Structure 1
Amino acid sequence: MTLADRIIAFNKSLHFEGKLPAGIHVMNPFREKKDIVDIMTKFYRKYYSDNQPRQIILGINPGRLGSGSTGVPFTDTTRMKQVGLEITDFKTHEPSSVFVYDVINAYGGPEKFYKRFYITSVCPLGFTTDKGDKVINYNYYDSAALTKSALPFIVKCLKEQLSWPISHEVCYCMGTGKNAAFLQGLNTEHQFFKEVVPLEHPRYVMQYKSRSKDAYVQKYLDTFAAHV
């Protein structure tokens, strides 16, 4: 099996069995929309049809407008079009994907970037809650009850992904606050990686530090260069 085969099978098998706190819903795009499975499959067949080891980059959990709409972390319909996978039935814009693709393009483009890195999330399924008449994203760490419920799922999914050709030397963590603290604690217990390296989350950069975006792109590149 290639790495693409493993990723595709893993995504299609994802199922959250934990007890959700009141008002919280699990978001599983791979079971809710067939089109997303098709898009995701094309993407991973394009960039991961080999068994070359990758370094792992971990976000928080999928959001509705990012991988919740495409099946691929830190992309939206615009970014998918940029890699030759046009989605015509709907359009999404995920600001985090803009930053990530600035990093990818500065690194040398998708072909080069995805040959070295595999992006996923600490929790590979997302969560939502209702706020008035709106559905909003919810993070696995936003309530202690959800974190506790999600923990077995998170550990199981990380163990499975780390059985693939994924480096155990270093993990890049998107998020220097709660996501990093949780992952570093988990790593202390399970010894998944020799080192967890936190980086500012793309959403944080785009929302609060957009004027300094280029500096954060360079920080990502410098960090990657330091862990070749």
Structure 2
Amino acid sequence: MSLSKKILDFLFHLKMPFDLPEGVGVLDSHKDEEVREACSAFYKKFYNDNKPRHIMMGINPGRFGGGITGIPFTDPIRLERDCGIANDFQKKQELSSVFIYDMIEAFGGTNAFYGKVYITAISPLGFVKKGKNLNYYDDKLLKQLIEPFVVDCINKQLSWGLNTDVCFCIGEGENLTYLNQLNQKYQWFKNIKAVPHPRFIMQYKLKQKQDYIKRYVETLLRSE
């Protein structure tokens, strides 16, 4: 079975195995048929093989990037323009996706990047509260409840033969702290390297964007 089929089977059968805290909703775009078609086209294009990749681990999907397309850090504009996958999603850009695809271009383009890297998240399902994105670690009860789901998802993805010498954590704060704690417990990865979150860069460090792109690329290439 190709890696693309394993990824799609995983994404299309995600279920939150616990009751969410009051006021918290789950963001599962993969239930939508249009999203499934976009995901199928994307993963069959870039992952239709069994080559091992390194993992980049984000937080959880938001409403405007992966929450629309079902593909991490990929908004509808980047999906069509950079990945060559036409879609009927509303063509709104998402800041993190803008940075990631500028970085991918600097890396050598989508084929080069996705041939070496698989992007996922601590929680492949996203969360919303009061109509806004919610990171899993921003709700104390959610953070306590989510560990079995997170561990199961990471174990399933690693069973595909992904590289475990190093994991790249997207985010240098809470996401890194949580991933390090889990990794100490479950010993998945020999090393975890963190890079700043794209949204932080685009909101607060935009003038240094090219420096951060260079940092990302150099960090990824040093893993080879």
- The TM-score, its normalising length taken from structure 2, stands at 0.98
- The 1:89/1:97 distance shift into structure 2, 3 A limit, reads closer
- Could you tell me which residue of structure 1 aligns to residue 162 of structure 2? 166
Matched-pair identity in %: 41
Q: What's the CA shift for 1:92? A: 2.7
- Give the conservation status (yes or no) of the 8 Å contact 2:76–2:89: no
- Could you tell me which residue of structure 2 aligns to residue 226 of structure 1? 222
Q: Which structure 2 residue ranges, 5 or more long, are not aligned?
A: none
Secondary structure of the residue that 2:155 maps to in structure 1? helix
Q: What's the CA shift for 1:22? A: 1.1
Q: What's the CA shift for 1:143? A: 1.4
In the TM superposition, what are the counterparts of 1:195-206 in structure 2 within 5 Å?
Answer: 195-206=191-202
- Could you tell me which residue of structure 2 aligns to residue 75 of structure 1? 74
Q: Which amino acid aligns with 1:110?
A: T
Instruction: Tell me if 1:192 matches 2:188.
Output: yes
Deviations 1:95-116 (A, max 9, x none): 0000000110000000010000
Choose from 147, 150, 155 the match for 1:151: 147
- Could you tell me which residue of structure 2 aligns to residue 137 of structure 1? 133
- Structure 2 distance, partners of 1:59, 1:107, is 19
Secondary structure of the residue that 2:166 maps to in structure 1? strand
Secondary structure of the residue that 1:148 maps to in structure 2? helix
Q: Which amino acid aligns with 2:207?
A: R
- Could you tell me which residue of structure 2 aligns to residue 60 of structure 1? 59
- Give the conservation status (yes or no) of the 8 Å contact 2:180–2:192: yes
- Give the conservation status (yes or no) of the 8 Å contact 2:58–2:120: yes
Q: What's the CA shift for 1:89? A: 4.2
- Structure 2 distance, partners of 1:105, 1:227, is 18
- The TM-score, its normalising length taken from structure 1, stands at 0.96
- Could you tell me which residue of structure 1 aligns to residue 205 of structure 2? 209
Q: Which structure 1 residue ranges, 5 or more long, are not aligned?
A: none
Q: Number of matched residues? A: 223
What is the root-mean-square deviation in Å for CA atoms of aligned residues? Answer: 0.8
- Structure 2 distance, partners of 1:15, 1:103, is 31
